[in-house]
Homo-oligomer: A and B are copies of this chain.
Amino acid sequence: MTKLQEVLDEIALEAASATDRGAVAHYIPELAKVDPAHFGIAVALPDGQVLTAGNAETPFSIQSVSKVFTLSLALGKLGDSLWARVGREPSGNPFNSIVQLEQEKGRPRNPFINAGAIVIADLILSGHQPREAIGEIVRFIRYLADDDTILIDERVARSETAHGDRNASLAHFMRAFGSIDNPVDHVLGVYFHQCAIAMSCHQLARAGLYLASRGCNPLTGMQVVPVERARRINAIMLMCGHYDGSGEFAFRVGLPGKSGVGGGILAIAPGVASIGVWSPGLDTVGNSKLGTAALEQLTRRMEWSVFGA
């Protein structure tokens, strides 16, 4: 533990003085306003202990990190029949690409590209009102983190909606292929709100703990997903969690992880730890620049890579 805390402190110290921090996402105005100087990291251990460094308690927009939680939620509702609607292969393309979707007749490659996450949102909706589905997602994440203070940032949600043409295009495209059942504006309502959930590194690390602990949340003792499913979600995170930078993340960090354009990353060291890291500046493929570097150092120094100590 002492070593881990030392490593985290050193990582945070280094991050504080980093000059090349990447560029804050500018595709929606609310995200563009975030101060790039932030850096936080939190490591939750299977015994419930959480170690942190930096701005680990500051909430940020989790954006696509939410896709891990909605996938878990939807798998709980539909089981493996979910895979008829969305694949589980890396896309080899940017996060919002529509090209592949045309070639593959509206079935998204995996649940972590935008198109796939929109299908998952459609499945969670399944005839309910958007408000109900959004409520269910928030409750599920609060339950995972064992923290009822987690909220949606409504300004971010509105900003997403106002600048959501690319996602609207994906959703209409899939609906034309019959891949979406609910009205597009309902589905996007859910999707934009899940992306606008705000969490701190501390909360994120706790919320992901079930994936590091055979599907069981040690904070509550609840089996969130069966052990087999936890393994599989980790597999999809490793393969697809960083868009067309997934190979690079596996190469450098060596852990299942899911990034968001808000600069957050959730990474899982199976059996060992759940890690939340945040730094708003992004690299060229849209993943947190300092967040990735921090995880690379952490896994190297703690020998946590799944690819060999």
Interface residues of A (CB under 8 A from B): 87-93, 97-100, 102-103, 109-110, 165-166, 168-173, 175-176, 184, 211-212, 214, 227-228, 230-232, 234-236, 238-240, 244-248, 250-251, 254, 256, 270-271, 300, 305-309
Contact = CB atoms under 8 A, between A and B. Distances in A.
Does more than half of chain A's interface fall in helix, strand or loop, or is it mixed?
helix
A246 B89 contact: yes
B247 A232 contact: no
A178 B278 CA distance: 31
A184 B236 CA distance: 35
B238 A246 contact: no
A243 to B, nearest CB: 10
A100 B89 contact: no
Contacts of A245: 89
Given A110-B247, A169-B176, 4 more contacts: A168-B168, A169-B171, A230-B308, A235-B254
A203 to B, nearest CB: 22
A211 B308 CA distance: 8
The 3 closest A-B pairs by CB, nearest first: A92-B92, A270-B308, A89-B247
Contacts of A102: 97-99
A250 B239 contact: yes
A293 to B, nearest CB: 16
Contacts of A300: 228
Interface centre among A100, A170, A239, A244 (most CB of B within 10 A): A239
B176 A231 contact: no
Contacts of A228: 300
Contacts of A175: 165
Nearest to A253: B235
B309 A214 contact: yes
Given A102-B98, A246-B90, A235 B214 contact: no
Contact of A172 (B92, B166, B211): B166
A176 B98 CA distance: 13
A88 B246 CA distance: 9
28 contacts: A87-B247, A89-B90, A89-B244, A90-B90, A92-B100, A92-B109, A98-B98, A98-B173, A99-B102, A165-B172, A165-B173, A165-B175, A168-B169, A169-B171, A169-B173, A212-B308, A214-B308, A230-B307, A231-B254, A231-B308, A232-B307, A234-B308, A239-B239, A239-B247, A239-B250, A256-B307, A270-B306, A306-B306
A238 B214 contact: no
Given A307-B232, A307-B256, A309-B214, A248 B88 contact: yes
A270 B243 CA distance: 25
A255 to B, nearest CB: 10
Contacts of A168: 168-169, 172, 184
Given A168-B172, A176-B169, A231 B305 contact: yes
Nearest to A236: B251
